[in-house]
Amino acid sequence: MASGGGSVDRGVDFANYFCTYAFLYHQKEMLSDRVRMDAYYNAIFKNQDHFRGKTVLDVGTGSGILAIWSAQAGARRVYAVEATKMSEHARELVKANGLEDIVEVIESSMEDVILPEKVDVIISEWMGYFLFRESMFDSVICARDRWLKPTGVMYPSHARMWIAPVRSGLVDKKTEDYESAMDDWHNFVNDTKAYYGVDMGALTKPFCDEQKKYYLQTSQWCSLHPEQVIGTPAVIKEIDCLTTSIDDILKVRAQFSSSITVETARFSGFGGWFDVQFRGSTSDPARCVIELTTAPSTVDLTHWGQQVFFLRPAPRVCQGDLVSASFSMERSKMNHRLMEVEFAYGIKDCPPVTSKWYIE
């Protein structure tokens, strides 16, 4: 299995991951993300020549929306692959929209599916938080290597990860919550000793580690206002969906720098987001290039939001200060769909600080 993280028990992976996607409520959340929907809708209908008379594979079709649009845009045949029972709803929806002669919904993991032919287009909405959470792009790579014609195009065709210094009051809230959890713990240890004669003190260190991980070392989903971005954003990873291999995305490493653009602020953390582009391919470029961005915005909010990695302490910075950092991201050893991130960052001439976060 192209898990990229060694062998993965499929039953466990299903229990941990796929099960969420079997709820219509969750599908509705994604289908109500107007930025996401508009981007895919426009990418398809403003580039209908990529679809008219063509064969299309939709990887992880969910409720089937991308497969249905592909068919409406003129595809000859659409294979819509979905690992969960959502496939049954997708099949209903295809039928209700009169497209059952064009769209074939297949309940299977992408890694197992056998198609009767290669396809002209692979379309997929595979992006997780900060692009790679969920590691679903692995399945898109698998689909591409097995089923895309040499002349085929990827929808989307490119993707980028971005990072910028941000400010946020949440950094204090997180610290307070952590401290309050530890205060509770100390009272609990005292009470347990006094009432029940057992010394729980030996667990203070592991409890502290657990709470620190939860409150301080786990990235936070945020919907940042653009004014919370206090430095120049940097691209830390760019992929061409047509050529990227699993090895290219297993670990993401980058050096970047950002200069502070506001007069003065507290540098609360690094904000991370992504964008994807629908450019077609070099030999068959899109007529109309569409971009889907999850950058901080006042109007174009997405369910992805941004991931914020809070700093402790959060230093004061001034306009023109240079933040230099090296970034690395790997998959969690315990669950290949979750990520572990490290920043080694320095501000102006201060010695660099290294911190680690989990994307859960």
Q: Which residues are identified as catalytic? A: 125, 134
Contact 120, 149 (CB under 8 A): yes
Of positions 39, 43, 65, 103, contacts a second copy by CB under 8 A:
65
* Residue 43: DSSP 8-state: H
Contact 296, 226 (CB under 8 A): yes
Residue number with CB closer to a second copy (150 or 196): 196
Phi then psi dihedrals of residue 325, to 5 deg: -150, 150
Residue 185's CB: how many other CB atoms inside 10 A? 17
Polymer length of the chain: 360
Residue number with CB closer to a second copy (15 or 235): 15
Residue number with CB closer to a second copy (98 or 320): 98
Tell me the DSSP string of 157-183: -EEEEEEEEE--THHHHHHHHHHHHHH
50-58, 63-71, 281-289, 305-313 -> range binding a second copy (CB under 8 A): 63-71
Q: At what angle do helices 86-96 and 24-31 cross, to 10 degrees?
A: 60
Residue number with CB closer to a second copy (95 or 287): 95
Of positions 30, 200, 216, 353, contacts a second copy by CB under 8 A:
200
Q: Are β-strands 269-280 and 285-293 bridged in parallel, bridged antiparallel, or unpaired?
A: antiparallel
Of positions 188, 216, 284, 301, contacts a second copy by CB under 8 A:
188
Of positions 207, 270, 345, 357, contacts a second copy by CB under 8 A:
207
Owner of token pair 């206090």? 230
Smallest distance, Å, CB 357 to a second copy? 19
Residue number with CB closer to a second copy (93 or 347): 93
Q: Write each residue from 331 to 360 as x if it is in contact with a second copy (CB under 8 A), else as -, in one continuous string.
A: ------------------------------
The answer for residues whose C-beta is within 8 angstroms of residue 256's C-beta and 6 or more apart is 163, 234, 235, 236, 324, 325, 326, 327
Residue number with CB closer to a second copy (204 or 326): 204
Whole-Å CA distances, 266 to 27, 169, 243: 38, 9, 40
Of positions 15, 235, 288, 318, contacts a second copy by CB under 8 A:
15
Separation between Cα atoms, residue 300 and residue 289, nearest integer Å: 18
204-212, 291-299, 323-331, 339-347 -> range binding a second copy (CB under 8 A): 204-212
Does position 24 interact with a second copy (CB under 8 A)? The reply is yes
Applying CB under 8 A, the residues found at the interface with a second copy are 9, 11-12, 14-16, 23-25, 28, 31-32, 37, 41, 63, 65, 68-69, 72, 89, 92-93, 95-97, 181, 185, 188, 192, 195-203, 206-207, 210-211, 214
